[in-house]
Amino acid sequence: HIVQVDTVVPVVVYISGCPPTPEAVIRAFMMLHNKIKGKPGPYVEPVKVDLTPFLPPPPKPPAKPAPQQTQQAPAA
């Protein structure tokens, strides 16, 4: 069972990457330092983006098979 780290311990700064680059770690420490000093950190307002123009069309449903005709034995 995998849980997110912020459900176990308080998280102040997230570092992206697996593994994170040294630059990402330094940037995270700088963000933490600024947060401790009371300086506002970088914040980006979330924006909803419509990606439907870039997505492929949905797949077509499979074609229905033609009804099979049964052959009757010729009358004797």
Interval 27-76: pLDDT, tens: 999 989 988 898 877 676 778 989 889 999 888 888 888 777 766 666 66
Query: Residue 34: which residues within 8 A CB-CB, separation 6 or more?
Result: 40, 41
pLDDT at 62: 86
pLDDT number for residue 25: 94
Residue 65 has a pLDDT of: 80
Position 22 confidence tier, pLDDT thresholds 50, 70, 90? very high
- Token pair belonging to 49: 């983006």
pTM of the predicted protein model: 0.46
Nearest to residue 14, comparing CAs of 42, 38, 45, 37?
A: 42
